[in-house]
Chain A
Amino acid sequence: MRPLFFIAGVSAVLLAATLLRYSAANVIPVRLYRALVAWSLFLLLWEGTLYLGIFSSMLLASPSVIITKTLFLLEKGYLQANIIATLGRFLAGFSIALVMAVPAGIAFGLFGKAYEWLAPLLNFIRMIPAPALLPFAILVFGIGEGPAVFVIALGSFFPVFLNTVRGVREAERLHIEVIQTMGGNGMDVLRHVIVPSALPTILTGIRIGFGIGWLVLVSAEIVAADSGLGFMIEGARALLETPTVFVGMATICALGLAMDIFLKKIERFFILRRGGDLLTSQSNSTERNKPTICSEGRLWKWS
């Protein structure tokens, strides 16, 4: 793609959006329009400075070059292979973390005494950055997928686990007693009170865990992998293939964005379904979101 074509195209999109926004039709929402303006001005500035030769094209690839390179890599099948490798590794590690962290968190949340004994040790292990265990994992699991999956699982385990414990411990005593008075057993309490009231906190933990897992994934791929987007970036850097570095970063960003939006949608769905207020339940203060999450009457809507 020629730089001038790119500049003309982006300008045309910007112009069309402005016309649509301020014409009688007024079809474009404000948020979308603002995002469009910010992005197109940013892209124009980026492309323009490189076109005028202000920055060296060795150090910074222009958007038009990145698009050309992306198409080329897609045609060769190189980009798809790396995306699949990255996603497979990430999903393996992340799902191991979820499968272990949520049941363990519920168990330790229910048995608070046991948690108090383990918490200091867990807090120490939590403070070891997951990539630091990568060399050790290589020694134990050998070179291959094992070390990367292990550190991704470790990185995303703790946010999910700690949030699950917190969510379970914050379940209302009153609701539990109501179920018990009505003759429900432990399983009923778990199903009708503990899991529903802890769910928003667990989902927040999953989203934080996703962020950390994604970070650790890229770091593991840069340090110890022979496939994946991180490997692609680092390999391209060694060859001074600046456009490929940018293609890799843009792909990582797009995949992260897609998963972040997906997780936010799930979180939103479950919180709104329970009649909670999205804004207050996302704040850090536990006192503030307690009444909204466990609002009486709404609790029964869940089951």
Chain B
Amino acid sequence: MHGSYFPAMEREDIIGSPLFIFILLLLCVTLAVARWLFPRAVSPSLLKGFLVASGLLTVWEILLFLKLLNPVLLPPPTRVFSNIVYLWSIGFLQPQIVSTLFRLSYAFVLALLSAVTLGILIGYFSGRFSSLESLIDAARLIPAPAWLSLAILWFGIGYASAIFIIWLGCFFPIFLNTVNGVSKAEPVQVETVLTFGGDKFDVLLEVILPVSYHHILTGARIGLGIGWITVITAELASVDIGAGLGWMIQDSRILLDTTTVLSGIIVVGMLGTMTDLLLKKCERFVQGWS
């Protein structure tokens, strides 16, 4: 069964250990020189992060080169790197990335729309919220993965169950932050708009939305983090067989293919960092706007 999904496991390291360490050293020097020449272009955190990471990779590589660690349990960085390039070149990695990102972004956008709408409605009529609070609290404290079994019962195995639990994971942080943000609106500002002849809709547009942007974006970043945990859980539990980075990691684990396991983990980490940076950029954009 495996052969039909997985590529052949014959692959060669495209880069040797000494060359790898040499390239890392070269990159570090290049970055340091670039930072010295153009202080604006290279941020200090990038340089520091790169230096520490390459130091760690070098130690890891050397430990395995000297055969101090078991390469079956912890393959050297060169092999992981070669594996990522190999999986990409045969077109196996791309569909996994696309299906994971598709699930996550679909559910995340749904959660953003529903949570912001509901949050503004409930925060706006905050008198009603207190009676619903205990119900919402109880629903919030059931972690999204615990809904997985129920989702499979309701929607069957497939995309729908995965999207349902990812939506649920993203929903509560965004919703609670929106309610919190709406409640931060100053009564004076609300009354100013009303005094100048504005109606409730104007209050919403002029006061409440600008005040709650930051809270919504903070909620969105927390929600995305939980969304990543949930999407990987859904894929590890094989909600949808045969696609996704989580599924790739789990299936390679069964094959004792630690290299692909680590490659998957690193790709997930990079994608997570990128999506987080994207939201951070949004935050800065909104900061200049409101």
- A positions within 8 Å CB-CB of B: 31, 34-35, 37-39, 42, 58-59, 116-121, 123-125, 127-136, 138-140, 155, 212, 214-219, 222-223, 229-230, 233-234, 236-237, 240, 242, 245-246, 248-249, 252-253, 256-257, 260, 284
Contacts and interface: CB of A to CB of B under 8 A. Distances in A.
Given A39-B134, A219-B233, A260-B141, A128 B269 contact: yes
Given A132-B246, A242-B153, A127 B273 contact: yes
B143 A34 contact: no
Contacts of A58: 153
Contacts of B53: 120-121, 124
A57 to B, nearest CB: 12
Interface of B: 44-46, 48-53, 56, 73-74, 130-135, 137-138, 141-150, 152-154, 169, 215, 218, 225-226, 228-233, 236-237, 245-246, 249-250, 252-253, 256, 258, 261-262, 264-265, 268-270, 272-273, 276
Given A38-B135, A118-B52, A132-B249, A218 B150 contact: no
B141 A256 contact: yes
Contact of B256 (A128, A139, A212): A139
A271 to B, nearest CB: 18
Given A135-B236, A284-B218, A249 B146 contact: yes
A121 B130 contact: no
29 contacts: A34-B130, A59-B153, A116-B45, A118-B52, A123-B273, A124-B270, A124-B273, A127-B225, A129-B228, A129-B233, A129-B268, A131-B232, A131-B246, A132-B245, A135-B236, A135-B253, A214-B143, A217-B143, A218-B146, A219-B230, A222-B145, A222-B237, A233-B146, A240-B153, A245-B149, A248-B146, A252-B141, A257-B138, A257-B141
A222 B148 CA distance: 9
A135 B250 contact: yes
A132 B256 contact: no
A35 B129 CA distance: 11
A234 B262 CA distance: 27
Contacts of A125: 269
A120 B48 contact: yes
Provide the main secondary structure of the chain A interface.
Answer: helix
B56 to A, nearest CB: 7
Given A35-B133, A216-B229, A252 B142 contact: yes
A253 B172 CA distance: 15
Contacts of B261: 135-136, 139
A215 B149 contact: no
Given A31-B130, A139-B258, A253 B141 contact: yes
A229 B142 CA distance: 12
B130 to A, nearest CB: 6
Contact of A237 (B152, B215, B265): B152
B52 A120 contact: yes
Nearest to B274: A127
Nearest to A223: B236
B110 to A, nearest CB: 19
Identify the 5 closest CB pairs spanning chains A and B, nearest first. A120-B49, A135-B253, A237-B149, A127-B272, A219-B233
A81 B229 CA distance: 27
A92 B122 CA distance: 39
B153 A139 contact: no
A181 B96 CA distance: 61
A175 B246 CA distance: 49
A237 B138 CA distance: 22
Contact of B134 (A35, A129, A215): A35
Contact of B149 (A139, A212, A234, A257): A234
A245 B154 CA distance: 12
Most chain B beta-carbon contacts within 10 A, residue among A116, A155, A214, A215: A215
A174 B249 CA distance: 51
A257 B137 contact: yes
Nearest to A245: B149
Contacts of B134: 34-35, 38-39
A252 B141 CA distance: 8
B78 to A, nearest CB: 18
